[in-house]
Chains A and B, each alone.
Chain A
Amino acid sequence: MITKEDLEHIGWLSRLELSDEDKEKYSPKLNSILDYFGELNEVDTEGVEPTYHVLPLYNVFREDEVGGTTTSLTQDEALSNAPRKQDGFFKAPRMM
């Protein structure tokens, strides 16, 4: 059961500003979905390993060089979509 306080907490963790109206709106639907997920409690998973990836993952190594398929974006390209930029940097909001 997600309470109004839970919703405020996960809204903060998710960096999603939620109005009081949002919280009223989201709560019942989130809870009915969570209720449905509760069916997994019926499944006996004692001794079952979790599957994070369907195929075995291997570390992929390459030479630590720029070039070929590892070409980077230029600084201009990297900044080309930034809503705010200054002196060749992304402009962030102030920390405090």
Chain B
Amino acid sequence: MWASINELRERIHAGSSEEVVCEYLDRIGSSKLNAFVTVAAESAIARAKEIDSGGHDGVLAGIPVAIKDNISTKGIRTTCSSNILTGYVPPYDAHVIERLKAAGAVIIGKTNMDEFAMGTSTETSYYGATKNPWDTDRVPGGSSGGSAAAVAGGEAPLSLGSDTGGSVRCPASFCGVAGLKPTYGVISRYGLISYANSLEQIGPFATSVRDLAAIFDVVSGHDLRDSTSVDRKTNYSSALENDVKGLNIGVPAEYFGEGTDEAVEKSVWNAIHTLEDLGATWTEVKMPHTKYALSAYYIIAMSEASSNLARFDGMRYGIRTEDSNWHTTFSQVRAAGFGEEVKRRILLGTYALSAGYHDKYYLKALKVRTLIKQDFERAFNDVDVLIAPTMPYPAFKLGEKIDDPLSLYLADVDTVPINLAGVPSISIPCGFSDGLPIGMQVIGKHFDEAAILRTAYTFEENTDYHTKRPEGL
């Protein structure tokens, strides 16, 4: 069930998209992973039949793709895994969905996530946690846990997630698949239900860098409906060369700090040495403000969330409680509709923006963000890419951290600086520890996705971690 785009294309050519789509639907139907919130069986089969009869020649013609439940899909329920959006059916498609449809892709369903993408474990979903395909007692990572678990578990060959502080790379790392957080602005956010708009990007998952680049080529590009969308079209698949000769890798010691699992540290260093054997060089770089990234990130993300989530009031969509007066009704709808973590972030964000605290928290965090961004700029004066662990440890147990929000936030230590700086980063598997995947991230300069894709592709071509699959599903 873990087929590449090329294999699926051959199978669709020899058989039909309908057969392929039905196989994936069966797999989802018998799964214990809870990777999907909504399975779009009927519309997927109808679309597959249409592709089969129409001779569509798009690069993803007839190929199923799973979509995180915070990306708007016309006619398919979209809930952000929150009670407050129960029953919401978007009347329009996100830009990435328009792109996927134009390329012939079949939307197979909507994947589970932390409520409103706020989490690192997919445990804050109103629809229950998703399980890690490698060990169903463990979390898949988050917040795009459903999208990662679906690809790792063979329930979809490709998926989309979103990454605000690591929400694509973390689950990619925990589930042993490839995941990309592009440069801010490369993929339109039109139709992405916003959590922290200055940080978040939509990003793809796949079982190989080749497939990742293929779907990235489809969904990236300029869109007038997102004012931060950038107008520069690149063909990312053409960047995939099995060659790192002359590549200069920077290794930031701060990302291998206290709390980093020994097996993770060892696997990432092994990967760096593998690339060295293939002709790359490496050098240590200093990123002194890294330790402050977590606080800066959470203050900014919570502040933006408190504003972005103001729109959920039961007027235009979602649940509505018994009507009282104006303010009381909205307060009650929101109290009933949001889960605990979402409320916590709205409350803290509101506090950080409120009179008397704005400068102390929000403005201070934005200034620290500048220093973190400058750390990256300085590092990239000397090196082409940075390599670091994606997560400090492999997947933890379900329930292990969920009652202690701060300990859960600390897990994001290596992923949040990337979003603060807006640079691109890919996570790929680079080892295993007691049967659990370990991920490393390759981080690039703004708009230099080509360099990180080439580095990751070369690593994959010369190792076999990405070919390992979980058993017993």
With A16-B334, A45-B371, A50-B366 as known contacts, state yes or no: A55 contacts B91, CB within 8 Å: no
The count of residues in chain A whose C-beta lies closer than 8 Å to any C-beta of chain B is 54
Does A81 contact B350, Cβ atoms closer than 8 Å?
A: no
The reply to whether the CB of B2 lies closer than 8 angstroms to some CB of chain A is no
Q: Which residues of B contact A78 (CB under 8 A)?
A: 91, 316
Interface size class of B (residues with CB under 8 A): 35 or more
> A33 and B373: CB pair below 8 A?
no
Q: Judge whether B373 and A16 touch: CB under 8 Å.
A: no
B91 (CB) vs chain A CBs: closest residue: A77
Among the stretches B34-42, B321-329, B457-465, the one at the interface with A is B321-329
What chain B residues lie within 8 Å of A70 (beta carbons)?
A: 224-225
Tell whether A60 pairs with B224 under 8 Å between CB atoms, given A40-B365, A48-B367, A55-B422: yes
A14 at the interface (CB under 8 A from B): yes
Query: Which of B5-13, B45-53, B267-275, B291-299 lies at the interface with chain A?
Result: B291-299
Some 16 contacts from A to B, beta carbons below 8 A apart, are A10-B347, A10-B354, A11-B347, A16-B338, A18-B335, A26-B347, A40-B365, A41-B364, A50-B366, A54-B446, A55-B422, A57-B227, A70-B225, A77-B91, A82-B317, A93-B328
Q: Which listed residue, B92, B198, B227, B347, touches A16 by the CB 8 Å rule?
A: B347
CB-CB under 8 A for A14 and B346, given A50-B366, A69-B225: yes
Chain A residue with Cβ nearest B370:
A51
Name B's interface SS: helix
CB proximity of A76 to chain B, nearest CB, Å: 9
User: A54, B421: Cβ atoms under 8 Å?
Assistant: yes
- A interface, CB within 8 angstroms of B: 2, 6-7, 9-18, 26, 29-30, 32-34, 36-37, 39-43, 45, 48-55, 57, 60, 62, 69-70, 73, 77-78, 80-84, 90, 92-96
**Which of B's residues lie within 8 Å of A, judged by CB?**
87-89, 91-92, 184-185, 198, 223-225, 227-228, 230, 289, 291-292, 295-296, 298-299, 306, 310, 313-320, 323-332, 334-335, 338, 343-344, 346-348, 350-351, 354, 361, 363-371, 373, 405-406, 409, 420-422, 446
**Docked-complex contact A92 and B325, CB < 8 angstroms:** no
Counting from the closest, the 3 A-B pairs by CB-CB distance are A54-B422, A50-B366, A83-B320
B residues near A82, Cβ cutoff 8 Å: 315-317
**Interface contact tally, CB-CB below 8 A:** 173
Contacting residues, chain A, for B347 (C-beta < 8 A)? 7, 10-11, 14, 16, 26, 30
- Contact A43–B224 (Cβ < 8 Å): no
Q: Are A40 and B369 in contact (CB under 8 A)?
A: no
A14-B306, A15-B327, A43-B289 are known contacts. Are A69 and B344 too (CB-CB below 8 A)? no
**Residue on A nearest B362 in the bound complex, by CB:** A50
Closest B residue to A59 using CB positions: B227
Measured CB to CB, the closest approach of chain A to B452, in angstroms, equals 17
Q: Are A43 and B292 neighbours in the complex by a CB distance under 8 Å?
A: yes
Q: Are A96 and B320 in contact (CB under 8 A)?
A: no
